[in-house]
Structure 1
Amino acid sequence: GKLLPPTFLPRSEEEAQELGKQVVSEKTSRIMRYLFRLNVLSGSGRRADVPGYTVGGKTGTAEKIENGRYVNDKRRNSFLSAFPMDDPRYVVLVVLDEPKPERKGVGATAGLNAAPTVAAIVRRSAPMLGVMPRFSKGDEPIEISY
């Protein structure tokens, strides 16, 4: 629930805490993290789920505007996610411009294309970032390879 000024430069935990400004209550933050996780477990973001990682997020599918009018066959899809949702450390945003459907007769929604892209990014990057997968309710990580 704290807003931190973004930077590409490293800073200590103490510096971040000093710069952070509380903008969302702890309770609201907990509820939102729950809803984002729920969206991945049983909502439009199901294809973003990565076994062992608590990914959460929200899909977005929007028709594009051309010449001041919505065009129903051109879209911009996005999926904004974070992980691990019990203590978010990383954010992944995927935006796809004019995505194509997987096959004829299937929609080109964010849940069908941006969400799986997020899953692929989390699956490959989490181990490199030192985020170990967990497959039980305990905090003990289990070593696996993707």
Structure 2
Amino acid sequence: MWQMQLVTPSIILIRFVNEEAFAATPGIGSYPLLLVLMDWQRGDVLGAFDRYSTNFLKLIEKCQEELKYAHVSSNRFPCSIQHCQQALVTYQRMKDALTDARGGSDRETRRRIICQLPYSFSYIPVETPYLDPSMFRFDDRLITLIERTKLSDSEVI
């Protein structure tokens, strides 16, 4: 087992890779991968998928909100591809760009999208888009420029 993610309170997504993949220099992406959906309370395996699975990609596209924001049970401001038209358009553009970059290979596109799972976040997103830190950017270069600038007393920032 390499990574695990909670999808619902009772369902987890587990990513399995070979033991040799951890010490591999070319990268973990070249080794076999198995993604398993499991009901951990009952001990049932709900599905097992490889990195090229068409059915798993469809499941990802239908359940983006649950996969990305499993901890938010009642999200009043959904922002994933099944609820937000702009997010869907952006996702389709990304998917088309991946397909075009690899010479039109749907298989490679599926592999690249599926290999991103399970999602990991460095912060916990909030339920309201007005306080979401991902919508704001802190530009270090601008702060450095302001700090280095010598202003006279009459100049206003």
TM-score (norm 1): 0.27
From the CA coordinates, give the structure whose radius of gyration is larger. 2
TM-score computed with the length of structure 2 as normaliser: 0.26
Return the structure number with greater helix share: 2
